[in-house]
Amino acid sequence: MTNIDYEEPVYLEVYNNVGVRIYDKTLITQSNSSINLSRYPPGLYIFKVQYPDRIELKKGIKF
């Protein structure tokens, strides 16, 4: 699992190591959200978090 912290609505996309989008969701509730990647194979994942004023890319490695 990975956590995304936010205080405003954000749009989240998760991509696998070959660039295929495997998850997308608008997170509305001000909170800390967890994304469960247990059904996906080990590897590198890119998390694209779109805030109203910026975009952040985060890397995650699943073992």
* Domain of residue 50, CATH code: 2.60.40.3080
pLDDT for res 32? 65
Stated pTM of the model? 0.82
Residues 6+ apart with CB under 8 A from 19: none
pLDDT for res 28? 82
Count Cβ atoms within 10 A of the Cβ of residue 14 and give its class: 0-12 exposed, 13-18 middle, 19 or more buried: buried
Mean pLDDT of the region 13-34: 87
Number of domains in the chain: 1
> Distance of CA 32 to CAs 7, 8, 14, 15, Å?
9, 11, 16, 20
Q: What is the DSSP letter of 41?
A: P
Count Cβ atoms within 10 A of the Cβ of residue 45 and give its class: 0-12 exposed, 13-18 middle, 19 or more buried: buried
Mean pLDDT of the region 44-53: 93
Question: Which structural domain, as residue segments, surrounds residue 41?
Answer: 2-62
